[in-house]
Amino acid sequence: MILRGPARLPDPQRVLFIQLRRIGDVLLGTPALRAVARRFPDAKVDFLVEPPADEVLLGHPLVDRVLVAARDKSLRSFARVARELRRVRYDWVIDFFSNPRSAQFAFVTGAPVRVGLDRRGRRWAYTHHIVEEEQDRDAYAVDLRLDALARLGVPAQGRELEIYADRADLAECARVIELLTDVPPDKPLVAIATGSANPAKRYPADLTAEVITRLSESGCAVVLTAGPGETDLAEEILRRLPRRVPLLSDARVPTLAALYRRAQLYLGPDSGPKHVAVACGLSAVTIFGPGRPFNWNDPLNTRNVVLLAPCDVRPHCIEAECARRQCLRKIPPDDVVQAALSLLK
């Protein structure tokens, strides 16, 4: 990695992180947040996100404010956020996402230090450009962020993901506790995610049901989780089971974190819930579909087993084609069950 821009930087009093889009992306930025907050303990650190990723930062002790940019992308919404960003007068802005919208947000802050990825058509928005080299293509997202900060004179403070959302939302904790009332406490608890909003990342319902059945027969307690809009998929899985398992429906980030604090294993796709589970210190069996698996999974985490769908075009996957070809169906339930039982031991 190369960082282009002035080498001498003033210590900041106000720092803004920009990470739009997904829950997992924001969680993968928490080690970078920790590094900056500890390097400049007197600085106030804000975070600009899109919903529902703002829930990732609920109760986070190192974040002064969470700013939320509406997903409607209207000019009115942009202007509302832009006015607030301009008013605060940030010293540093760090945009690890660097898409056209986040680049515009970074630029309107007027911050003297604006860090972003070196992308065509967006270089004008930043004073410092992160240039990724060939060896960075398969690097873990956390390591890339920390590597960029190191070039700004900010040393890493560990690579662990952090989440506090469950401690900030006691109602969701109570909901989880009630759900687990009838779950045998002497059995290892496995939390299985139904899937993802992305059809290319969904393990088929019939295979998921087979995994749940076999884990239950092996002495595990299983809870199925479904995010907003995933209830139909969850019910399809439950209909295929010889015996229904508890369902945690409409699970938000605080709900998932509360469940994962009490579980022994996460099993499901590489998506937001997986990163929440890892942040809660949970072992994980990650069923990985299209893309570069090394970008989203810590190579040093031996408690995260990644099962890859066979693919002859990886990493140049086209998600719609992966969904059509049902690549994830090529991962046998036996492999999933064996990985889970191995981690539980």
**Residue-level pLDDT at 326:** 83
- 160 domain residue, yes or no: no
Q: Are residues 235 and 129 in the same domain?
A: no
7 falls in which pLDDT band (50, 70, 90)? confident
**Residue-level pLDDT at 321:** 76
**Residue-level pLDDT at 165:** 96
Mean pLDDT score across all residues of the chain: 93
Residue 183 domain boundaries: 165-344
Q: Are residues 124 and 170 in the same domain?
A: no
Show Cβ contacts of residue 343 under 8 Å, excluding neighbours closer than 6 positions.
265, 283, 284, 285, 303, 305
**Residue-level pLDDT at 325:** 76
> Residue 108 in 3-state DSSP?
helix
Q: Are residues 97 and 234 in the same domain?
A: no
Q: Are residues 194 and 102 in the same domain?
A: no
Token pair of 219 as six digits: 């002495």
Nearest CA-CA partner of 15 in 82, 104, 107, 88: 88
* Number of domains making up the chain: 2
Nearest CA-CA partner of 304 in 266, 337, 276, 341: 266
pLDDT at 23 over 80: yes
- 158 domain residue, yes or no: no
Supply the CATH number for residue 226's domain: 3.40.50.2000
pLDDT tens, residue by residue, 241-286: 999 999 999 999 999 999 999 999 999 999 999 999 999 999 999 9
Separation of alpha carbons 89 and 13, rounded Å: 10
Q: Are residues 112 and 254 in the same domain?
A: no
- 101 domain residue, yes or no: yes
pLDDT tens, residue by residue, 71-115: 887 888 899 999 999 999 999 999 999 999 999 999 999 999 999
Q: Are residues 103 and 77 in the same domain?
A: yes
Q: Are residues 106 and 28 in the same domain?
A: yes
Please classify residue 194 by burial: count the beta carbons closer than 10 Å to its beta carbon, then call 0-12 exposed, 13-18 middle and 19+ buried: buried
pLDDT at 324 over 80: no
Name the H helices within 289-332: 293-296, 319-325
Q: Are residues 214 and 336 in the same domain?
A: yes
